[in-house]
Structure 1
Amino acid sequence: MQTAKVLGTTRATIKHASFVGQKLLIVQPLMADGSADGPPLLTLDGWGASRGDTVLLTSDSSCMEDLIGKDKNTPARWTTMGIIDQR
């Protein structure tokens, strides 16, 4: 699990089938002191997070299956598990 700050959303006219109907967020992973931890990431969001929110991310495949379905393969690695703090 990883905390991250939501930088914004993104859209794609051509995308993987597992992304259809999903909200895509661009997030900045954070270290414990709030500083950046690596480059920004793309995550699937089922919680309605928006720019400025602090969220909890996971790369757990069972959480991904809950969001997109068990029968789908996806190139997505990260899923938003919840909103820690809203702006």
Structure 2
Amino acid sequence: MEPHIIDESLRCRKYTPLECFRLMGFTDEDFFKVKQALNETFYNGNDRSNSQLYKLAGNSISVPMLEFIFCQMFDDNDEIWV
């Protein structure tokens, strides 16, 4: 009998919205500003913004990666190489 490769008692933990923003290169301060703005604008101060926060983080570009790409596009004389 072969050993079980997948242990059925294991559970996967879902990332929190804060962790998703961190993975995209945002600071905790940025996250809390966005969360507060969402709650005040759309939810009358109630904390119901998690699904929108997941969407915002998922529809973003990693800031450090974007910075690297832009740095590669310019040389030392600020000439663009595209």
TM-score, length of structure 1 as denominator length: 0.23
TM-score, length of structure 2 as denominator length: 0.24
Which has the larger strand fraction? 1
Based on CA coordinates, which of the two structures has the bigger radius of gyration? Answer: 2
